[in-house]
Structure 1
Amino acid sequence: MLKINQIRCEVGETFSIHHIAKKLRCSIRDIHSFEIDRESIDARGDDLHYSYSVYASIKNEDKYLKNRDVKKELKEVYILPTTTKSPIQRPIIVGFGPSGMY
């Protein structure tokens, strides 16, 4: 799986597989699947646009690693730890202050 950074999309435009194909200069048929990892807005200067980071599964991935915005990575999945014990006693709130309860 490849992580592709700095995919540009204009404001008002919907992100699609066409943007990935344009960034990699490949055919849409070569892209098997993709998932958006991060979406941010770039408001530097007068040009306002979105910048996306995407995980994508692509045919012949090694061919696209020459691009500096493309890296071979595994998507990290975070699993929340579960606890079987309940807390021994509840916290005691003494008062309120400028930073919350204490």
Structure 2
Amino acid sequence: MEKLESEMESMRLQSSDDEHDQVEDFCRDNGSPFREKVDTAEDWRETINKVVPAVVVLRITACRSFDTELSSFGSATGFVVDKQRGIILTNRHVVKPGY
């Protein structure tokens, strides 16, 4: 089993190296410099600082249909797409039709 896993890993690495070489050759032949970008902790920090201010918490309350039903509530997250128009993007299950 270990031998099989080792062979599979070397095949994967070989395939990955071949694909990398093909991309590098393509870029060189077409005049594009090939540079592999490695993200640093600072890159992540900058991205997070840009995104976090747009993240919002949504609190959803649904009215009860009948006197015998309790109202429901929940919370979720989303992010501001258009501040001027008040557009927030979230998952579909968060805002169901009629809510």
TM-score, normalised with respect to structure 1 = 0.21
Q: Which has the higher contact order (CA 8 A, sep 6+)?
A: 1
Greater share of strand residues, 1 or 2? 1
Which structure would you say has the larger Rg? Answer: 2
